[in-house]
Amino acid sequence: MDQQVTEPATATQPSVHLLSDYAPIVGQPEIDELWMLARALPGRSVKMVNSTAVGGGVAEILNRVVPLFKEVGLAMQWDVITGGEAFFSVTKAFHNALHGMAYEDRPEWKEIFLATNEENRKRMSFGDSFVVIHDPQPLPLVAAREGKNNHWLWRCHIDLSQPNERVWNFLRPFVEKFDASFISSAAFTHPLAIPQFLVAPTIDPLAEKNRELEPEFIDSVLQRFGIDKRRPIVTQVSRFDRLKDPLGVIHAYKLVKRYVDCQLVLAGGGASDDPEGSLVFAEVQEAAKGDKDIFLLNLPPWSHLEVNALQRASTIVVQKSLREGFGLTVTEALWKKKPVVASAVGGILRQVLHKVTGMLVHSVEGCAYQIRYLLSNPQLAKRLGEAGHDHVKENFLITHTLKNYLVVFLLLEKHSH
């Protein structure tokens, strides 16, 4: 059953929070420390640049950190580069290639990539104290630093463990023009002329995506999509992207379904910088055809409350990515105390500690096995979920992101004088 959703659920709580609102979760000393760090950077400005305002983890994080940076006194601007279909086809091909997927070079690609970045460079300004470029799409903007005294950081959110060499060799010279890079896993380091900081992405526990929800609201979301709350619900929330392996999830569900009467929810949506979404969605529709217990939910980008409710309603959350920079969907599920079955790839390995905070898998069969195992061991499932929540609380909440940036900004300033 596939469903297109057009109406957003209504938010009953504010969507922007003050730093002090996080004290009950992370403790007052953590908040005090952030203010102390920020006070050491008076009057500084920061520009964040990425390639989409909605959809995907980067936009998710920027939406939440920008207001907090402003609150602690940094003048913060978030700019999104623009580009045509041809540009985003190239950047998606680079994205897949950097994840080690098949890559076929087209002679015009580099030119399109450079020309679109050049157009963006001309229309944007880069006079801020710190410029943070997210991911490979806007990398060539670093040309704008020439003749300036400011600091440039490259925040790489993707899994660089096995990049296609040709694409990496083309992009590396841009990377080496930055002062430093941020990566999400030690496995993504490469021999580079600049420092690489290991920094995990984080979630905002107070955001609509993650805050506590009334059981009635969760029920209403299930009802709206026709999902049966009395039978087990296995869910993967992800953009419809081959690297998220939605077909593998359906395959695993079908193996489980032979023994357990469960339902599968594949909730996803597009991102404006991902032109492959509708193609993959069509493949997924084909694979799900004829099974009333598979729910394909094509959600618009503002569906935070729906995603939250679906994650909370799930018996098990799956993330069967083939490659994964980090996987905020995993963090979100762990925060909600859900037992997670996830592929042993990329940044997921920092989150899912096998048999402690979830189950790691290496194949469709392994995924099916662990889903069945957890469905028949609710006590263990509960324990994993609780340990997962604590792990996120210790390591992957938004205040960590703030602190990481502030510390690195201070370091960059210190070392340039």
Q: Residue from 236, 238, 314, 401 that binds ligand UDP (CB under 6 A)?
A: 238
Q: What is the nearest approach in angstroms of ligand UDP to the Cβ of residue 284?
A: 13
Q: What are phi and psi of 71, to 5 degrees?
A: -60, -40
CB closer to ligand UDP out of 153 and 328: 328
Beta carbon of residue 132, minimum distance to ligand UDP (angstroms, whole number): 16
Give the C-alpha distances (Å, rounded to integers) separating 98 from 56, 110, 177, 188, 269. Answer: 17, 15, 19, 11, 22
Q: Is 272 in the site for ligand UDP (CB under 6 A)?
A: no
Residues near 59 by beta carbon (within 8 Å), at least 6 away in sequence: 50, 52, 53, 271, 301
Is 332 one of the binding residues for ligand UDP (CB under 6 A)? Answer: yes
Strand (E) or helix (H) holding 317: strand 316-319
C-beta separation of 241 from 271 below 8 A: no
Using Cβ positions, the residue closest to ligand UDP within the complex turns out to be 57
Q: Give the one residue of 140, 163, 232, 268 binding ligand UDP; rule: CB under 6 A.
A: 268
Distance of closest approach, residue 207 Cβ to ligand UDP, in angstroms: 9
Do residues 197 and 180 make contact, with C-beta atoms less than 8 angstroms apart? Answer: yes
Backbone angles phi, psi at 406, to 5 degrees: -60, -45
**Which residue in 31, 60, 323, 372 binds ligand UDP (CB under 6 A)?**
60
Q: Which range, of 52-60, 169-177, 248-256, 362-370, touches ligand UDP by CB under 6 A?
A: 52-60
Residue 106 has phi, psi (to 5 degrees) of: -115, 135
Nearer to ligand UDP, 297 or 371 (CB): 297
Q: Detail the DSSP E strand segments found in 323-414.
A: 340-343, 359-361
Look at the block and give the residue holding tokens 């994964």: 324
Question: How many chain residues interact with ligand UDP (CB under 6 A)?
Answer: 18
Neighbours of 290 (CB within 10 A): 5
82 CA to centre of own chain: 20
Q: How far is the CB of 197 from ligand UDP (least distance, A)?
A: 18
Contact of 59 with 271, CB cutoff 8 Å:
yes
Binding residue for ligand UDP, selected from 44, 92, 95, 239, defined by CB under 6 A: 239
Nearer to ligand UDP, 239 or 257 (CB): 239
- Name which position in 163, 269, 358, 388 contacts ligand UDP (CB under 6 A): 269
Give CA–CA dist 291/288, Å, rounded: 6
Under rule CB under 6 A, residue 273 binds ligand UDP: no
Range in contact with ligand UDP (rule: CB under 6 A) among 145-153, 162-170, 261-269, 363-371: 261-269
Among 199, 267, 288, 340, binds ligand UDP (CB under 6 A): 267
Q: Are 117 and 95 in contact (CB under 8 A)?
A: no
Q: Show contacts with ligand UDP in window 311-330 (CB under 6 A).
A: 326-329
Within residues 275-314, the interface with ligand UDP by CB under 6 A covers: 299, 303, 307
State whether residue 180 is helix, strand or coil.
strand
Residues that bind ligand UDP in the complex, under the rule CB under 6 A: 56-57, 60, 209, 237-239, 267-269, 299, 303, 307, 326-329, 332
